Every structure is written in structure tokens, then in C-alpha cells.
A and B are shown apart, each in its own frame.
Chain A
């Protein structure tokens, strides 16, 4: 059993509030007074009812949305704009269609003028890591959904970000492919030990992947509670049948259900 290496706080969200202007006047609070911390090399998952502000929270961390109040601090610096230090993988397919897999993976390094040889080596490493060897010269239109998301993960990793933000990256995939992708991500994470902040509405996914799971309240989203996942690592999908896994699943499920019911009430 590998013990968890608990690092220093790397990402801190403090009293984060995001309100959107409604088209017909008035405002909606998507996220309200949200606090959370991600430590170095930690894999943190966020689950919550639909529309509770998970994507909004992640987009604030990425610097794509400006918070109304509160702040995001990454390695001691306040986040004000998007940057290569925070890679993001989206639920929708966002590979650049005009670039090959290799071109996509080299996109970030190319922007930073990384020398050719180094860039090619990084691309090769991450393309191999996500199991896309042989598809370097394929265009996205020639790939399946799962392959596109793997390439998107490689593209983010090739930029060597300090933290990887993932917004339901497997949400658009069928169940079998999703299971394979989860296994692949566990493997990739084991080898790269990136800090990951992973948003999902799939409870099993969050337990399988995460060191900790934050449960969000219904909109306006804030942290309802935090669940430590002390399942041994390295993990494989077999863990889902374990007693501990099932207990955690039941617990988180109940907690989210309470929140979802609030929305309906």
C-alpha cells in the first residue's frame, strides 16, 4: 500500500463568488462563497448536482471567468488571467481540427518557442502516454471521441502545467469508453503525478480517481462537505467492487441527493 504524499497547498480558492448578469436584468449567483484547497500532487474531484456551478468554478481557476468577489491563489500568486500554468480539458471536443494529433500536442510548447527537438520529444512522450502512438499524423476528424479526449489530455500535459483542470472530460463518451479512459487517466496520473482538479457528476468516477472528493451544494454552489478517499494506490477499476468503495458511493450519493431534492422543492 502506497501512502499518500500530502504536499503543501498549491491551489486555494477563497470565498469565491461568481454572479452572472441575467439577460433580462437581475443576477444569478452560480458560485457563492466557495472555499477549497488542492495540495501538491493531489487528485481532487468535485461532484455536485447539475447546474450547481462546477464548470463556472473551474473556469474561474483557469482564468476564463472573473470572480465577482474572492480570489484564486496558485502557488502563492493570485490568478487574474488564463495561463499555461493551468491546463484545462473540456467536456466538448476542443482539439484544433486543422492540426494533426502531433500539431495539437505541440501547440502549447510552440507558443512558448520550445526548441524543435525538445518539443518533438515532449509530444512523443505524451502521445505514447495516452496510447496514441501511430496516430501522430491523424486529423481529429479521423479519431473517435475517446481518442480525441486522450489527445486533449496529452495536449494539456505537454505544456507541463502546474495543475490540470478537467471539466467532465469523459462526459460525452459511452460507458465502456469512459471506463477505459478512467483507467488510462489513473495510469497517466500515476506516472506524471500532476496536481489535478477534476469536475464530474459521476460519483463512481470521483471515488475511483480522487484522493479527496468535494461535494457541492445546489446552486449557488458552495462546498457542502469534503470526503477523503483513502483507497490504496495505485488503483485499478477492480476497486469499485470493494466494500470501502461501495460505502463511499452510498454516502456521497445520499449527500448529493439531498442537494438535488432541494432544487426540485
Chain B
């Protein structure tokens, strides 16, 4: 019996059938095979190419005077604005305000939506109870609810937390219920034939089986949460990155608007990386880890 585990091809991709390998170096031929991993340096090369291209066009457009500074500030202007905002301490304050709201709203949504979604995908009864409401609310844009929320709870932190919560909760329930409904029936059945009872199957088989999918959806909804947050901060607020952007617009400080945008983008990137890292670390068995 000469079977081997599939070689981990990330480091040195094994030559495959139908693949000619003329040169020892990593050629374009290799990089263009669908779904095949490429080397780490090749990947980083791709990333830096994009970043460089963007920086280059940005510089040409601004320093070359092709676009008025009011519309597009030069890189150095943005850096200077960021330094000023940091010195004032306002960038930190707005970032903290946004982070507090997004993490609270999102975490509350996760806390309720994940168990509810798992039950909904597993038990038809729960699905019947919950699905009509969720499908209705899901199609209401959260922005449409903001006036009502302001009326109910004012324009403080609680209102923005509520916006983020509502925005993510209903989507997450449906996404997670889909994940748990798609757990293979044979997987559950094999647990039964190994002597597991219903409760054990739920906790020891169904639950772990949903984890990779749940993790993916946590990452995705965190991305959406930023959108809801900024909308809430743009509508009525006195702090947060969304507010900072709006306030900068009033004074025509385009460079500060860009600082706000870059901060949101970088925070999003950071969260994305954290989730990917968590997936790899907590679920090393996951096929997507």
C-alpha cells in the first residue's frame, strides 16, 4: 500500500503531469495555473507591484499638477495631515470611538446570531419561527432605520452600536444557518452509528463542523459592519472616523478626508489579517486554513 498524504505544495510545488519545467526558476507558466499556490516571494512581489503602481499614479497625478489639490491631495499632504491629527490627538479619539462602536455592535450580533443561526439551520422548527422575520428585516436597508433609532435612543454611542448590530445580526443569522444546514448528513449519521446520541451529535459534531464556515462569515460581516458604522457616523454624530471625514469636508480639508479613508482601510485590512490568522491558528484542520 503505497499511498502518501498529498505533499504540501506551498514550499516546493511538485512537478505535475502535463507540466513542462524547462527552467529551474519560477516562471509565469507556473503562476498562471488556476488554484495552484505560488511561492511566498512571488506573492509578495504581486502585492508590492500593485502598491507601487498606485503610489506612482497618485504621485504623477498630484505632483504633476494634473488634478487640483482640492480633489486629490499629494501623498506628502496626507502624511502631514495625519501627523497633525495625531498631534492634536483627534485621530486617536475618533479611531477609538469607531472601534468601540464596531466591536461592541458586532460582538453582540455574533453572540446571538451564531447560536441562533446554527439552530435555525439544524432544526426546522426554529427555522419556521425565525426565518420570516429575518428575511423581512434583512431587506430593510439599515440606513432606513437610522432615523427611527435616533428617535428611540438618541445620537450617542448606543444608537451607533444598534445600527452596527442590526446591520450584521440579520445577515449573520442567515449566513450561519446556511453553514449549519450544509453540514453533511453522512457526517452526522456516522456519529449516530458510532453510538452518539442527539445532544452529543449537536455539540461534538455539528458544532465543530460549522466552525470554518462561521469563521469565514465573521470575517465577512466585520467588513460590512464598517459600512454601517460609517453611515451611522455620517448621519448624526460628534465623534468617530465617519464624523471626522464629514467634518473635514465642511472645512474642505481633503487631505484629512484621505487620512480618514486610509485609516478605515488599514483597520479593515488589519481585521482581515487577524481573522485569517485566527482561522489558521484555531482551526488548523480546516481545509481552508
Asked if A86 contacts B193 (CB within 8 A), the reply is: yes
Contacts of A142 in B (CB 8 A): 5-6
Asked if B184 contacts A94 (CB within 8 A), the reply is: yes
Choose, from A105-113, A117-125, A247-255, the stretch at the interface.
A105-113
Asked if A96 contacts B187 (CB within 8 A), the reply is: yes
Complex partner residue of A141 from B184, B195, B285, CB under 8 angstroms: B285
Q: Which of B73-100 contact A (CB under 8 A)?
A: none
- Kindly provide the distance from the CB of A83 to the nearest chain B CB, expressed in whole angstroms: 6
When chains A and B are docked, how far (Å) is the Cα of A193 from the Cα of B147? 73
Choose, from A36-44, A131-139, A197-205, A238-246, the stretch at the interface.
A131-139
Asked if B285 contacts A84 (CB within 8 A), the reply is: no
B209 within 8 A of A: yes
Contacts of B285 in A (CB 8 A): 97-99, 139-141
Contacts of B265 in A (CB 8 A): none
B196 within 8 A of A: yes
Contact with B along A178-222 (1 / 0, CB 8 A): 001000100000000000000000000000000000000000000
Asked if A108 contacts B5 (CB within 8 A), the reply is: no
Choose, from A11-19, A143-151, A229-237, the stretch at the interface.
A143-151
When chains A and B are docked, how far (Å) is the Cα of A138 from the Cα of B211? 19
Contact with A along B170-207 (1 / 0, CB 8 A): 00000000000000101101111111100010000100
B287 within 8 A of A: yes
When chains A and B are docked, how far (Å) is the Cα of A90 from the Cα of B188? 11
Asked if A111 contacts B194 (CB within 8 A), the reply is: yes
Complex partner residue of B192 from A82, A139, A140, A147, CB under 8 angstroms: A82
Asked if A94 contacts B186 (CB within 8 A), the reply is: yes
Residues of A in contact (CB 8 Å), total 40
Contacts of A112 in B (CB 8 A): 195
Contacts of A184 in B (CB 8 A): 1
Q: Which of B203-227 contact A (CB under 8 A)?
A: 205, 208-209, 211
- Kindly provide the distance from the CB of A147 to the nearest chain B CB, expressed in whole angstroms: 6
A156 within 8 A of B: yes
- Once A64-B192, A97-B285, A111-B195 are accepted as A-B contacts, the answer to whether A177 and B3 lie under 8 Å apart by CB is yes
Asked if B186 contacts A83 (CB within 8 A), the reply is: no
Q: Which of A76-105 contact B (CB under 8 A)?
A: 82-84, 86-88, 90, 92, 94, 96-99
B40 within 8 A of A: no
Asked if B192 contacts A131 (CB within 8 A), the reply is: no
Contacts of A87 in B (CB 8 A): 193-194
Query: Which of B192, B205, B211, B286 has the most chain A CB atoms closer than 10 A to its own CB?
Result: B192
A62 within 8 A of B: yes
When chains A and B are docked, how far (Å) is the Cα of A175 from the Cα of B3? 14
Asked if A144 contacts B3 (CB within 8 A), the reply is: yes
Asked if B209 contacts A97 (CB within 8 A), the reply is: yes
Asked if B194 contacts A98 (CB within 8 A), the reply is: no
Complex partner residue of B189 from A64, A84, A131, A144, CB under 8 angstroms: A64
When chains A and B are docked, how far (Å) is the Cα of A84 from the Cα of B190? 10
A155 within 8 A of B: yes
Contacts of A94 in B (CB 8 A): 184, 186-187, 189-190
Extra 5 A-B pairs, beta carbons < 8 Å, given A84-B194, A96-B187: A63-B192, A82-B193, A111-B195, A131-B1, A184-B1
B binding-site residues for A, Cβ under 8 Å: 1, 3-6, 184, 186-187, 189-196, 200, 205, 208-209, 211, 283-287
* 3 cross-chain pairs, A with B, having the tightest CB-CB distances, nearest first: A84-B195, A82-B192, A88-B193
